[in-house]
Amino acid sequence: MGKESIYELDGRVPLKKAIPLGMQHVLAMFVGNVSPLIIVCGVMSIPAEQKAALMQNAMFIAGLITLIQLYPLGRIGAKLPIVMGTSSGFLPTVQAAAGSYSYGAIMGASFTGAILEIILGFFIKPLKRFFPPVVTGTVVIAIGFSLIPTGVKFLAGGIGADDFGSLSNLFLGFLVMFIIIGLKQFTKGFASVSAILIGIIVGYIVAVFMGKVDFSGVTNAAWFSMPQPFMFPFEFKIEVIIPMCIMYIATAVETVGDVSGITMGGLDREPTDREVGGSVLADGFGSAIAAVFGVLPNTSFSQNVGLVSMTKVVNRFTIMTGAIFLILAGFFPKLGAVVAATPQSVLGGATVIMFAMIAVSGMQLVFKQDMSGRNGMIVAIALGLGLGLGNVPDALQYLPEWARLIFAQSGIVVAFLVAAILNFILPKDEKIDIAE
């Protein structure tokens, strides 16, 4: 085994090295994986016992579908280091439906939309010609820039925190950030590639001594419990299904962008048709299984794309160890509770860097093209409208509700649509022969 195995998709890596690198990915996505369900359970007043079971199911599903992305089932899966988890992109749509419809209706719509995404996955090859690097690169940049404010909110203590922006939160966040920067820039080998993990662990320990870690969740969590399917019988309401299906199309586009970010950031190449199609199929397949277990749709996690871009660690075996931990956390809730106790300010110090690295990956993809004419115009307008409307959703307040739920909540969707349409209608730049 060569010493560079962690930088290759395949190859054996010792467990003592693989497990810490896999745990980096778990720490990067854990809070984001359970937060959407926590929010929805609060909005719909779901009992505490069912809420705890849904958290457990979310960990199990994320680990299972990550395994399928790493080691495909036939065409389902990209065979890439893609980490899956509960999508927060569906939150506005789900919250809008929660006022009038049951959780079973939301799960029925989730299952229906998942079938649509599976169908999209089979037809991604003929559709891919509409997604050249100037389009996918723009989507990756939009993903990174759209997530950076979330990273900063984490760093300040997390949305809704009583001590949001406190000096203690900022201290923890910047401590983690400085540790990561120092390890990445001034060390080599394992310390460098494990910089995120080491930074978060040090931040966690310091937070314990500062009294900022709440272990009550660990105390209350069960030692062992089986994931529970069919907690909420499906209902099929067309009013919920339509907006959910539209959001599935949007998240399929985001997954295409994430795959491009991983291959560009970690493998220095564009994704193949097989990888893109497999990733979208796994998104749909995983979301269908998630609905059976009462979990919101699953999608690729962009913070983990940033982690791959930053560390260049793409070895599937190492990330598989993180997936196994997630599955175990689905059976042993106390494991998950220990990770869930990580203060958001500690995670923020890492996520700000990782989200920014996603944007850098997109820039690398875009700037491999000639940006002097048509391509530069496409990127400028797509990012201008996408990020602008994403940050000023009230600009679309007079659109129909279904349109607002899609376009006013996600700069990523707008950036994709604008880039794809302009790429289709704008004439190619003419090559001028200077010898004439």
Domain ranges in the chain are 13-224+232-424
The pLDDT score that the predictor gives to residue 152 is 87
pTM over 0.75: no
- What would the DSSP string read from start to end of 190-256? HHHHTHHHHHHHHHHHHHHHTT----HHHHHS-S-------SS-----HHHHHHHHHHHHHHHHHHH
CB 420 within 8 A of CB 130: yes
Q: Give the whole-angstrom CA distance, residue 28 versus residue 390.
A: 24
The predicted pLDDT at position 264 comes to 81
pLDDT computed for residue 408 by the predictor: 63
pLDDT for position 2: 45
Residue 281 CA to its chain's centroid (Å) = 16
Supply the pLDDT for residue 436: 44
First to last CA, the chain: 56
pLDDT at site 406: 65
- Reduced to 3 states (helix: H, G, I; strand: E, B; else coil), residue 33 is helix
Confidence (pLDDT) at 215: 79
Here the tokens at position 100 are 């009038």
Using alpha carbons only, give the angle 78, 145, 393 rounded to the nearest 5 degrees: 110
User: Residue 43: what pLDDT?
Assistant: 67
Instruction: Report the distance separating Cα 376 and Cα 103, nearest Å.
Output: 44
- Tokens 């990550």 -> residue: 66
pLDDT at residue number 435: 47
pLDDT mean for each 10 residues of the chain (436 residues): 66 82 77 73 72 84 94 92 84 74 91 94 77 80 80 82 87 92 81 79 90 80 82 87 81 81 83 90 95 92 78 86 88 75 82 79 80 86 87 80 66 82 82 48
- Alpha helix locations (H) across 268-343? 273-292, 302-311, 316-331, 333-340
Helix (H, G, I), strand (E, B) or coil at 62: helix
